Chain A
Amino acid sequence: MANMSPKKNEMPSQSPDVRRRNFDEVALGYTEEQAVNEAQRCLNCKNKPCVSSCPVHIDIPAFIAKVAKRDFEGAYAIISSSSSLPAVCGRVCPQENQCEGKCVRGIKGEPVAIGRLERFVADWHNTKIGEFSSKPESNGHRVAIVGSGPAGLACAGDLAKKGYDVTIFEALHTPGGVLVYGIPEFRLPKSIVAKEIDGLKNLGVKIETNTVIGRTVSVDELLEDEGFEAVFIGSGAGLPKFMNIPGENLKGVYSANEFLTRVNLMKAYREDSDTPVQKAKKVVVCGGGNVAMDAARCALRLGAEEVSVVYRRSLDELPARKEEVEHAMEEGISFKLLTNPIKILSDENGFVKGIACVKMELGEPDVGGRRRPVVIEGSEFEIECDCVIMAIGTSPNPLIKTTTIGLETQKWGGILTEGENGKTTKEAVYAGGDAVTGAATVILAMGAGKSAAEAIDEYLKNK
């Protein structure tokens, strides 16, 4: 009998007053009882709109049915046949725009908490099972993966399961890409990422850190000299964009990438870290995506008294995941919407002392269908702050493009691929994730990595 409660089982979480000053995970995860109870809300409907709106098409009703029957390992087997990083995706996917957004239960009341159930199943698996994956028999073919973010990890995992000899090359000293340098500990504990990576190593995947493809070794050398038969490029979103307003190079202005890297990868929030980060009192974050939310919430946890998010459109257009916006608001971050920065102000020592903004109103819809913000004349005002974080997007890193013969990119710099399978203009080279699409989500990158793994398998089988 289905559980007809119109509301999701609430997620046990650290209370906002406590968590705003620590870096521990905010959401604590369902208990078995909560998970089973929530699973019983799924109607197992015929059309399964959730499956078609999942970028990697997890058989959601099937895994939920297993949870309802307390067969958690069975549920894990279903999820992991489609997803490479369930413990990660359960935490960071924008479920409200994907599976949960289409759930029939969401028409009258709240959708089934699919993301929370996915997380529960993955965590259950990770704590209950020790050494699980056996190394598949090698087929002797070598594939190189550039970048160890979600796209690279997914591609590596799928290829390794098929018996390929896979090596991941990572530029930084720790694998995980955006999962370790970008997404903060309180949203995605690094121990979870490490566990996923250990799982890949158990499958036989090798990881070479401190290797910058395009500098230490080029893609052409991987193919010609190093004995790899195919290469997958999942090198990520690239360099931060700035607004090109006066004052962006003052002391106290960070790109979100720099700020988050200092805090997350380099652990600047800990006393024993040698990496500095400004402990600002009043912080303004410009932008409205997940990265902006992460930066704002990190700034708060570093001890800021006041953190504001400045975004030029309204709440409805905020591109961040809904739960992150709610969490940020609960923690006391203020949202200055329909507001656009025009100048960052300097004190006498070259440090930030404030930011001048204008008020906006929403005008006619633009090409993308979103209403275009228009400046309200004479609305200029200042916000006092000692730190500004720019979280307004990225533009592709030119390094691989300029060092790889025959690899073409789009005008804006993203790697050009042929359809869904990630095939690039260069033979034996595939690409996916933010390096192809520009900044997007973990799940889309993971999906691209998986499709490319399929395509690489096809290519090498027919070679």
Chain B
Amino acid sequence: MYKITRKKVLNDNVTLMDIYAPMVAKKAEPGQFIILRVDENGERIPLTIADYDRENGTVTIIFQIVGSTTQKLNMKNEGEFICDFAGPLGNPTNTKGKKKVAIVGGGVGCAIAYPVAKKFYENGCEVHSIVGFRNKDIVILEDEFKKSSTKFVLMTDDGSAGKKGLVTDALRELIENGEDYDEVITIGPLMMMKFVCKLTKEYNVKTIVSMNPIMIDGTGMCGGCRLTVGGETKFACVDGPEFDGHLIDFDEVIARSSMYRDFERKKHDETCNLFKMEVK
């Protein structure tokens, strides 16, 4: 059992938790993920590591409440326990040798983009962070990003915070203005990453994306997380989760991610109803 040592609601749909898992905290690096199970009947879900504290033995996860599992997780409170927490899994972000990067995060993906930005920044790299949200109410980690970036651009779809527009608009403007990046790292919704890659391809800027496909074991056994990279089958759990964004078949990844949409909707409603009954 793994204890939840801190719970913080970041917005209506996004929650942060620190989990006491000293073995995982000891090894965790930006870019890696964990697999957790809330309870005995629970599903195994992968979540990318948002932060870690080696001294206190905790790992931070930030998750969006999208399905039944994240809903169940969100019902847990500080001091309570979850059943399983395994990691760190996947390969860490490679920050070596880069002088100037752009980190492009979208929505809850910013939770994963943040430790990556921080690590680049700590390594003395020039970091331009571009983060995008639908509106001002769901902006997360703004202060944290500001502290770990040379330049920080906040975009919202409706202009209620920062500038109005998409992250791709901001990135295009920076590149057009002569910013010369060694690498762009983008983490967020699949559609956003697809369009960031399309843009950077035009300018021939190397782009790394962090993938979070459907996964079960996360250790290189089930093959559920496979995707096509440069025409070859790769496994996000052992070969990734970061890949060269210009080589990924995004349309295939987007299609595969909807495999269980109906099942998830049904489970989500069931869990919702259960929760409502408990509240009553």
Interface residues of A (CB under 8 A from B): 171-173, 181, 209-212, 215-217, 236, 238-240, 242, 244, 248-252, 254-255, 257-258, 261-262, 265-267, 272-276, 278, 350, 397-399
Contact = CB atoms under 8 A, between A and B. Distances in A.
Give the contact-size bracket for chain B: 35 or more
A249 B86 contact: no
B134 interface: no
A266 B27 contact: no
B88 A215 contact: yes
Given A266-B44, A267-B41, A216 B222 contact: no
Nearest to B260: A276
Contact of A173 (B44, B69, B221): B44
B245 to A, nearest CB: 18
B217 to A, nearest CB: 6
Given A238-B221, A255-B223, A262-B216, A216 B43 contact: no
Given A216-B24, A255-B222, A249 B228 contact: yes
Given A262-B216, A274-B69, A399 B84 contact: no
A-B residue pairs, 7 tightest by C-beta: A255-B223, A240-B223, A210-B86, A276-B263, A397-B220, A258-B222, A274-B43
A350 B255 contact: yes
B157 interface: no
Interface in B65-96: 68-69, 72, 83-89
Given A239-B223, A267-B41, A211 B86 contact: yes
B70 to A, nearest CB: 11
Interface in B216-262: 216-217, 219-224, 226-228, 233, 235, 238, 252, 255-256, 258-260
A399 B220 contact: yes
Most interface-central of A173, A254, A255 (chain B CB within 10 A): A173
B175 interface: no
B267 interface: yes
A261 B37 CA distance: 15
A262 B256 CA distance: 17
Given A261-B217, A397-B238, A212 B86 contact: yes
A434 to B, nearest CB: 11
B174 interface: no
A275 B43 contact: yes
Nearest to B215: A258
B183 interface: no
B23 interface: yes
A212 B217 CA distance: 11
B42 interface: yes
B264 interface: yes
Contacts of B264: 276
Contacts of B259: 251-252, 278
Interface of B: 23-24, 27, 37, 41-44, 68-69, 72, 83-89, 216-217, 219-224, 226-228, 233, 235, 238, 252, 255-256, 258-260, 263-264, 267
Given A251-B259, A258-B216, A276-B264, A173 B86 contact: yes
Contacts of A248: 233
Given A210-B84, A216-B86, A242 B233 contact: yes
Contacts of B220: 238-239, 397-399
B235 A211 contact: no
A397 B41 contact: no
Contacts of A216: 23-24, 27, 86-88
B88 to A, nearest CB: 6
Nearest to A210: B86
Nearest to A350: B255
A172 B89 CA distance: 12
A249 B24 contact: no
Given A216-B23, A249-B228, 12 more contacts: A181-B217, A209-B84, A215-B219, A216-B86, A239-B221, A242-B223, A249-B227, A255-B223, A262-B216, A266-B216, A350-B255, A398-B238
Given A216-B23, A272-B41, A258 B227 contact: no
A397 B217 CA distance: 13
A244 B219 CA distance: 22
Contact of B219 (A171, A276, A278): A171
Nearest to A252: B259
B216 to A, nearest CB: 5
Contact of B223 (A173, A257, A350): A257
Given A238-B220, A350-B255, A173 B84 contact: yes
A397 B219 contact: yes
Nearest to B42: A274
A275 B44 CA distance: 8
Nearest to B23: A216
A217 B68 CA distance: 31
A238 B235 CA distance: 12
19 contacts: A171-B217, A171-B219, A173-B86, A215-B219, A239-B235, A239-B238, A242-B223, A242-B233, A251-B258, A258-B216, A258-B222, A258-B224, A261-B222, A273-B43, A274-B43, A276-B264, A350-B258, A399-B219, A399-B220
